[in-house]
Structure 1
Amino acid sequence: MASPTAIVSGLALATLVYFLLTKLFLVGGRGQKPLPPGPRPWPIVGNLPHLGPIPHHSIAALARKYGPLMHLRLGFVDVVVAASASVAAQFLKIHDANFSDRPPSSGGKYIAYNYQDMVFAPYGPRWRLLRKSRALANNGGKQAVQLGQVLGVCTANALGRVLVGRRVFGDISGGIDPKADEFKAMVVELMVLAGVFNVSDFVPPLQCLDLQRVAAKMKNLHLRLDTFLTHILQEHANTTAAEPHHVVDFLTSLSSDGEGSRLTDTEIKALLLVRTHAGALPPI
């Protein structure tokens, strides 16, 4: 846990940077077009206090006051909120290519192989290759896989078997598999860290302090996940099979897409990682 001195120093540094950047933007941004209406931001933290304990309720209340298109400043990050179906369609359908990239985040940088998975990768040829590979992997199986609709345990086990050939919660005979236990622990930790609000993502001057230790935990988890997935790829590289049995087999066997592009080992590991995270969440 960070000491009080480190916290005070970090806030003081953030305050100084904030006022310097504010002055710079006021001088250099006079020709910029106006932003949508929204609540007046606080220094440094912006509109973060307006979100409250239940952000989606707070945003709905703000939208009733400022309209379906409004501006929030979360820390140093400007955010435009689309609070109606018609306005959201402008972003998601009509102008989707202009708003397809995700903003920088600690999760994308430290866990998702520096934005190389399909969730965080910038829109472009590599992203289209990742999407194509995932679609082919989803439709490439020749046997139906029945997933549990209620039990998260069944979902996690099915994912483990389909992705890397391992059960997550014990083997089929009820025995203990250390590798499966390791995989299970990392998947759970990944889901927990993915839901953490990291203030450094919105106040960049605090990134060097890592006050919440989020970046340190993500780096540690990424190292363990990368070691595990690298071992899985090496195992499959040393085995020969007539046809792919798992997603990792299919991804490693993909030939060139005709444009000289092919998935790297890092991109394969990133795809496996995002599929594990997305699929291991319990059904709603």
Structure 2
Amino acid sequence: MAILGCSLPQQWQQLMTLLLVLVVPMLLLLFLAATRRRRSRRSWGMLKGGRRLHLPPGPPRLPILGNLHQLGALPHRSLRDLARRHGPAMLLRLGSVPTLVVSSAEAAREVMKARDVDCCSRPDTAGARRLSYGHKDVAFAPYSDYWREMRKLFVVELLSARRVEASRHAREAEVEKLIARLGRAGGTPVFLEDHIFALMDGVVGTVALGNIYGAEQLAHRWKRFHDVLDEAMRAKAGFSAEDYYPNAAGRLVDRLTGAAARRERVFRDLDAFFDVIIDQHLDKQKGGGAPDLIDALVALMKERQGGFTRDNIKGLLSNVFTASVDTSSVTMVWAMAELIRRPAMLRKVQEEIRAAVGDPKQERVQADDMPKLRYLKMVVKETLRLHPAVPLLLPRETLRPVAICGYDVPARTRVLVNAWAIGRDPASWGDDAEEFDPGRFESGNKDDVGFGGAHFELVPFGAGRRMCPGMAMGAATVEFTLANLLYCFDWELPEGMAPEDVSMEEAGGLTVHKKTPLLLVPTRYKSAGRC
């Protein structure tokens, strides 16, 4: 599915070449599609009774392309720039798809709270449809009774008190491994992202797969599965013509560019891995063993006798793996990158953590220490403000005509919430909105602002019905891991590199990574027990 995180210029080179070769049939198909759109003009530009809609403002459009050419390689930035000229509720046409982009806290409040019931569905896009087994997941499923049931199941089985407790043990075990791996670096530079992704793999794998995670019969497949997950993220974020031209023309372009074939290849690889772990859980149930998430889903499949199938399990698993590993990992990398560029802030947060632990013989930060770490939590909030892992929240779709910020928005309009732009909006955050300053949450009118969906100037996890259900578990993992990284090690840049040399350039995708990997030197903190 294209979440507007793709690098469009390379894709456009392929697309334009094909358009030149196939210009006549393509234009014919697009002309027919445009004719159908003109015939349905009443539903888009007119209300019943002939009254013109008061549509949101937006930039001029090109024939056929609409505003697609204005997205650029980092759409969240391009859309922020357009919103500065056209307003926080801006209407674009991306290909043939009408799209409302909201870029302020007030506009986000209308979409995700005041009009949430009207704006809470998901658009039907090719990549999400295929990789979620026909929308049998939670993240991409349209709003329906099925979605409500699956979300409840997802929360109960993944985020219940029992499951959260299991995740705590998994976090502690994987942090222990992470600290040991970094300790073996011996003061040499490490690519921090690699180590953090390994930790998140372990946490999510243990919670979802239980004792089967890391088992010998699965280990040889697990490394390959990492690569498949990366490909799945690219398939969801990459350019798909069908997402913007949901007709025969879009499907034809996807076939000719190879986008459809890539989706199928990724789907087959994911499907094969999911079949293996489901089969192993069926065998485990025969032999006993501690239950995990997939055990609960397999039990439900047996109970419902066809009403809940293997495809339902696989759809939910696609969310567990593709959503949680990447988002938490990139947040931790951005946090460490911001701190290493500001030595005074780095010292302040380390001093807080080490003072909270107190006992110099204590090897690690413990769960009981976390409530004391107020400044660390502010660092995480500030990181999520400036670097939301998914800068354009997963797209919504209006179920019926709705009024947003005083404008008429027709049914079946795609809605994009630019969380990245909202987090940097001077109207909410002041003239220093682009500066990394955790202290802004310490006092004044921002001390109570959180990312739990109640404060719309900070919405990295969304809000309303489609808010990310794994927010609490993800935030706990990020905070606990960072606390231990900062407690057990002193961190420096490689020799000859100054803080201002650290590149903060972004790389586009469904989640936005640092374009240049973060290379740091960890040195054991002598007072941290055996760290």
> Shift of residue 217 of structure 1?
1.1
Distance 1:5 1:92, change over 3 A: closer
Asked if 2 retains the 8 angstrom alpha-carbon contact of 1:10 and 1:209, the reply is no
Q: Deviations over 1:55-100 (max 9, x none)?
A: 2222222222222212100011110111211111111112112221
Q: Which runs of no fewer than 5 residues in structure 2 stay unpaired?
A: 1-10, 48-52, 179-192, 332-531
1:245 aligns with 2:291: yes
Q: Counterpart of 1:74?
A: 94
> Shift of residue 212 of structure 1?
3.1
Q: Counterpart of 1:152?
A: 197
Superposed, which structure 2 residues align to 1:201-220 within 5 Å? 201-204=243-246, 205-210=249-254, 211-220=256-265
User: 2:208 is matched with which residue: 133, 153, 163?
Assistant: 163
Asked if 1 retains the 8 angstrom alpha-carbon contact of 2:56 and 2:90, the reply is yes
Q: Counterpart of 1:20?
A: 32
Q: Deviations over 1:94-119 (max 9, x none)?
A: 21122212112121122110111111
User: 2:20 is matched with which residue: 2, 8, 16?
Assistant: 8
> Shift of residue 128 of structure 1?
1.2
Higher relative contact order (CA 8 A, sep 6+): 2
Aligned identity (percent) is 28
Q: Which runs of no fewer than 5 residues in structure 1 stay unpaired?
A: none
> Shift of residue 242 of structure 1?
5.5
Q: Which has the larger radius of gyration?
A: 2
Measure the CA separation in 2 of the matches of 1:67 and 1:131. Answer: 34
Superposed, which structure 2 residues align to 1:97-246 within 5 Å? 97-137=117-157, 138-139=159-160, 140-141=162-163, 142-143=165-166, 144=168, 145-146=170-171, 148=175, 151-165=196-210, 166-167=212-213, 177-204=219-246, 205-210=249-254, 211-240=256-285, 244-246=290-292
Q: Deviations over 1:9-47 (max 9, x none)?
A: 544434333333434433542534242111121111110
Q: Counterpart of 1:269?
A: 314
Measure the CA separation in 1 of the matches of 2:323 and 2:311. Answer: 18
Measure the CA separation in 2 of the matches of 1:53 and 1:192. Answer: 14
Measure the CA separation in 1 of the matches of 2:126 and 2:40. Answer: 29
AA aligned to 2:27 is: T
Measure the CA separation in 1 of the matches of 2:299 and 2:239. Answer: 38
Asked if 2 retains the 8 angstrom alpha-carbon contact of 1:44 and 1:75, the reply is yes
Q: Could you say what secondary structure the match of 1:70 adopts? A: strand
The alignment of Structure 1 onto Structure 2 pairs a total of residues equal to 279
Distance 1:201 1:250, change over 3 A: same
> Shift of residue 260 of structure 1?
11
Distance 1:244 1:127, change over 3 A: farther
1:96 aligns with 2:116: yes
Asked if 1 retains the 8 angstrom alpha-carbon contact of 2:95 and 2:244, the reply is yes
Q: What is the aligned-residue RMSD (CA, Å)?
A: 3.2
Q: Could you say what secondary structure the match of 1:35 adopts? A: coil
Measure the CA separation in 2 of the matches of 1:231 and 1:127. Answer: 26
Q: Deviations over 1:193-252 (max 9, x none)?
A: 233122332134131242432221111111121122122212212223667532111222
Asked if 2 retains the 8 angstrom alpha-carbon contact of 1:14 and 1:206, the reply is no
Q: Counterpart of 1:57?
A: 77
Q: Could you say what secondary structure the match of 1:239 adopts? A: helix
